[in-house]
Amino acid sequence: MSARITIVGGGITGLTTAYRFSKLMPGAQITLIEAGDHVGGKIRSSPFAGIAGVDEGADAFLTRIPHAVALAAELGLTDQLTSPAVVSANVWWNGMHEIPEGLLLGVPSDLATLARSHLLSWRGKLRAGLEPILPGTGVGADSVGRLIRKRFGRQVHERLVDPLVGSIYAADTDRFSLAGVPQILDLASNNRSLLIGARRARAKVKAATGPIFAAPTGGMAVLTDSLAEALAAADVEIRTGQSVTSIERSGSGWLVDGEVADAVVLATPARTTAPLVGAISGDAAKALATFDHAGVVMVTLAVAGTDWPRELSAKSGYLVPKPVQNWVTAVSFASSKWAHWRPADADGDVILRISLGRDGRDLTDQSDDALLNAAVTDVGHHLGFSLRPTAHRITRWPLAFPQYRPGHAKRVTGIEADLARDAPGIFVAGASYRGIGIPACIEQGNSTASALADFLEPVRN
């Protein structure tokens, strides 16, 4: 009899798990169940301002972590990939400041470029300059914020690392584990001085060729839609519009909402996963229920090209550090960043993607009017002119970003051990566990498929 697998959650992790497993164990009966009306999860692209696929969530993936590039190649998408045309990001700190060169996720690797920046006061720069002579601190209390303040002082933390890391993960870095930022974890684990470690790491990055980010020109959903097509071709059953509510033991296997499975992958956010495992592993459910997630809102605006200051076309956007934040945390000048989203002529619309909310400030229950008003007012204040959008779109992402609290890695290992002991054949995977970005989710999909195949080998034989 062929193995029966149920995968709950049709985001990039669940889709990749199903895809990889269908290759590892052809002939297995695979069902993927997604609560939403479409697969993709946090990846969604839709028409906006005359462009077919403008992203409502993730708009790119890192190329230096190879899993997303490799998957795109496998799906025949390499020719459709493009990279940002403009990468000059800024920080708004009572005025626009270019991010100094030589940073690794905000960690300075070059004191000279830091000294030239007006983002830090002289006091802040002098404090940062002490870092290379401080004794080693290792990973300390496993808090990104505490580590960076200890090494470089308050200003590097609040004006560089917290806005950069915070804007990627909607995080409060004081309550964010190094497990969420492997590049900084690596610096802290393997170097006495983070600055010297960052210098070495940047030298390696410079030696590597090619752009750092990539995305399909049709929008990130091309990746998840292509996966869904490949699954359909491999006879994987994809069900949308079904929210799984119960998992129970049934002999040596499992019942997922009453349907039999030999193994189950829960590729859902930790908070949603907790009640699903309540009846089969109380310990795992308890640990999963402690996870926090930050909700964010993406406001996409179109602004007439004739209203858009020409000098902003050379910038890709900006970040807003917490001490000077209202609701807006980051702004992408999306039509500068992505050449294929540029208007065909000067009258055409320029697209902005504006992020609102973060850990500790969830705005997903605010009204459309309040969100639009905050986006227009905040950005107008930052840029110094009144924005007059010609179109807008508001996307709410509750549970957008899992917040890796200090001790995260140990918590995840514990949950996996609880499940292996109490509920063999039930696996968890996805952004809540071993990396939040798309390449890390794809890697988890790949490794979970291998773990499934290992687990099911006796069922097949």
Ligand X SMILES: Cc1cc2nc3c(=O)[nH]c(=O)nc-3n(C[C@H](O)[C@H](O)[C@H](O)COP(=O)(O)OP(=O)(O)OC[C@H]3O[C@@H](n4cnc5c(N)ncnc54)[C@H](O)[C@@H]3O)c2cc1C
CB of residue 82 to ligand X, shortest distance in Å: 14
Comparing CA positions, the residue from 1, 29, 19 lying closest to residue 450 is: 19
* Rounded CA separation 385/387 (Å): 6
Amino acid found at 235: D
- Segment 309 to 348, residues that bind ligand X, using CB under 6 A: none
Pick the piece of the chain touching ligand X (CB under 6 A) from 58-66, 126-134, 187-195, 404-412: 58-66
Beta bridge partners of 31: 6, 237
Pick the piece of the chain touching ligand X (CB under 6 A) from 33-41, 326-334, 374-382, 447-455: 33-41
Residue 36 interacts with ligand X (CB under 6 A): yes or no = yes
The nearer residue to ligand X, 153 or 269, going by C-beta atoms, is 269
Sign, CA torsion 435/440/442/443: negative
Residue 441 interacts with ligand X (CB under 6 A): yes or no = yes
3-class secondary structure, 304: strand
The nearer residue to ligand X, 61 or 333, going by C-beta atoms, is 61
- Build a one-symbol-per-residue string for 362-401: x at contacts with ligand X by CB under 6 A, - elsewhere: -----------------------------------x--x-
The nearer residue to ligand X, 15 or 120, going by C-beta atoms, is 15
CB 453 within 8 A of CB 28: no
CB 428 within 8 A of CB 266: yes
The nearer residue to ligand X, 41 or 166, going by C-beta atoms, is 41
CB 347 within 8 A of CB 283: no
Residue 272 interacts with ligand X (CB under 6 A): yes or no = yes
Q: How many residues bind ligand X (CB under 6 A)?
A: 35
Pick the piece of the chain touching ligand X (CB under 6 A) from 88-96, 265-273, 385-393, 451-459: 265-273
What angle in degrees, to the nearest 10, is found between the helix axes of 194-207 and 182-190? 120
Q: What is the secondary structure of 255-302 as a DSSP string? A: EETTEEESEEEE-S-HHHHHHHTTTT-HHHHHHHTT-EEEEEEEEEEE
Whole-Å CA distances, 187 to 194, 197, 198, 429: 6, 6, 7, 26
Residue 268 interacts with ligand X (CB under 6 A): yes or no = yes
CB 107 within 8 A of CB 184: yes
CB of residue 255 to ligand X, shortest distance in Å: 15
Residue 298 interacts with ligand X (CB under 6 A): yes or no = yes
The nearer residue to ligand X, 143 or 273, going by C-beta atoms, is 273
Question: Which residues of the chain form contacts with ligand X (CB under 6 A)?
Answer: 8-14, 33-36, 41-43, 57-61, 243-244, 267-269, 272, 296, 298, 397, 400, 430-431, 436-438, 441
